[in-house]
Each structure stands twice: as C-alpha cells, then as structure tokens.
Amino acid sequence: MTPSARKQPLPLAIISTGFVILWVVLAAFPFIWTVWGSFKVEQDFFSRDTFWDAIYGVRTIAQTGSAFTSDGYYGAWITRDFLSSVINTLIVTVSVVVISLTFGTLGGYALARSGHRYTFWILMAALVFRAMPHITLVSGYLLPFFEMNIWGYLPTAIIVLVAINQPFTLWMLHSFFLSIPKDLDESAMVDGCSRFQAFRLVVIPVMWPGVITTGLFSFLLAYNDFATTAMLLSQPNQTMVPKIASFLGTVQQEGNVMFAVAAVVSATAPLFVLVMFFQRQIVSGLTAGAVKG
C-alpha cells in the first residue's frame, strides 16, 4: 500500500478495506468455485454428502487417481465438439458488433446532428424496442423464418440480434456524438470536408472511446444471448450459450454436467482478457481539450 495523502481515521480505514475485500470475495467466489470444480468429477462437485468433497476431490482421486481431472474439458471440447460452437459464437458476435457499430455510428451521428423534431420520436421508439423482452422479437419472427426456410442458420440469428441490439447502440452512440462539439464537424466542413469526410476524418477519431464502449456492450449482448440463439439456431449451428444449456439439459448421461461446467469456464475466460485489454480505451477521454479551456 502506498502512503495515502489524505489520512483516514484507522477504524474507517479498516471498515472500508474490509468491505472492499468482502465485496471482492462475494463477487469472485462463484467464478473461482466454478473454475476449481471444473477439474473434479461430478460426484465431488455436486456431492450430496458434503461440500468438502469438492475441495478435497475424494471421488476424483478414486476414479482418476489424481485430485484434478480434465475429463470435463475433454468431454466438452473433444467428445461434444465445443469448438464448433466457439467458432459459431465468434462469427455471430463479430458480425453483430460490426453491423451494429456501422449502423449505430452513422445513425447516431445523424440523429445527434439533425435539427429535426422527429429525431426525438425515433429515439423514443428505439427506447421502447430496447425495453421489450428479447423473446418477443424471437416469437414473432419464428413462423416467418420457418416459412421462408431460413430458420437455423447463423445469418438469421445475426439479423435478429442486430435488431435487438440496434436501439441500444443508437442511443448510446447518439449521446456520445452529442458530447462532441458541433464546432468540430463545422470547422472540418469549412476546411474542405464533405459531411461524410468530416464524420470519418474528424469526428470518428475523437469518438473511439465511445465506439469501443458501445462495441463492447454489443459484443456482450451477442456473446451472452440465450433466448435468440437457443430458439433460432439448429443443433450444428449452436453458439456457446445454448450449447452449454444443452449439456445441462441431458443430465441422464453421467458427466454431462461437468461438460457444462468446463464449457462455462472456457466461455468466461475470454471475457476477462477482453475487459482487461479494453479498459484503458473505455476510460480514456480523448475529447479533453477539444474546445475552449
């Protein structure tokens, strides 16, 4: 600990530090527990006798000869081909992020700079659609998708996810664009840019933190979505989350729950890397000093 410049009274320091530690433990425990458990057999991790089984791995030792086993990972990745759903997830999330950001930046910029009154109503409509449960969109689309024979394919799920996500990206980018002074695009236009050049050369470079933040939220939505992907994708096209759910749904087969646990850990790890990698971009404020100081 570095010596703090502002001195806190000792009891307050103890209480606040204790609270932070407690919070970290509470927040991190489920994940740490899952990671630990993913290396055990089901009879240990889901033991009916005592949770100490999960810690010592009594049956894991009995069954495999070691306190840790990677059977869950082997089953999920090799036996049940988790890799294909990882690739599907990659395709879906990247497509959703790219499409959402393309329409979101263009639309958000247009809405932020337009002087017309209907922009307010467009944003209101977006808010309403944002508030709707995702499943409403899915159930409405399901029959037409069957009739058009496009059910089960990745592009179909991507379109629906973009539709769910777009109102949110529009709102978020719209408010980011509002925070960028109008003088910036106007001076670019006087300097010789067309409206689109001003957008591309001047506004977007200043907008990176906003674009990245919005992109991250879009990514998380697509990555974590269950309702849409579970309903709209056929078995071979499943993304990770419905795949994990299908591991859980077939508990009559021993070991499948552990496949799910191992898959969950596999699916969570990239998120940590992502957030850590982008946290600087999310926090940084490039706009500082754009206008008068």
Contact call for residue 293 and another protein (CB under 8 A): yes
Q: For residue 271, give every residue at least 6 positions away whose Cβ sits within 8 Å of its Cβ, in sequence order, or none.
A: 220, 223
Q: Which stretch binds another protein (CB under 8 A): 23-31, 68-76, 240-248, 280-288?
A: 280-288
Q: Residue 45 contacts by C-beta under 8 Å, 6 or more apart in sequence?
A: 37, 38, 54, 258, 261
Helix/strand/coil percentages in the chain, nearest 5: 75, 0, 25
Smallest distance, another protein to C-beta of residue 171, A: 24
- Smaller CB separation from another protein, 58 or 203: 203
Site for another protein in 186-215 (CB under 8 A): 186-195, 197, 201-202, 205-206
Report the residue number, 157 or 173, with the smaller CB distance to another protein. 173
Q: Does 181 bind another protein (CB under 8 A)?
A: yes
* CA-to-CA dists, residue 286 to 197, 201, 202, 275, angstroms: 20, 15, 12, 19
Q: How far is CA 177 from the centre of its chain?
A: 23
Size of the site for another protein (CB under 8 A): 26
Distance in Å, CB of 6 to another protein, minimum: 27
CA distance 93 to 43: 35
In whole angstroms, the minimum distance from the beta carbon of 116 to another protein comes to 12
User: Considering beta carbons, is residue 91 or 286 the nearer one to another protein?
Assistant: 286
Q: Residue 288 interacts with another protein (CB under 8 A)? A: yes
Between 92 and 202, name the residue whose CB sits nearer to another protein: 202
Closest-CA residue to 202 (of 186, 224, 220, 226): 186
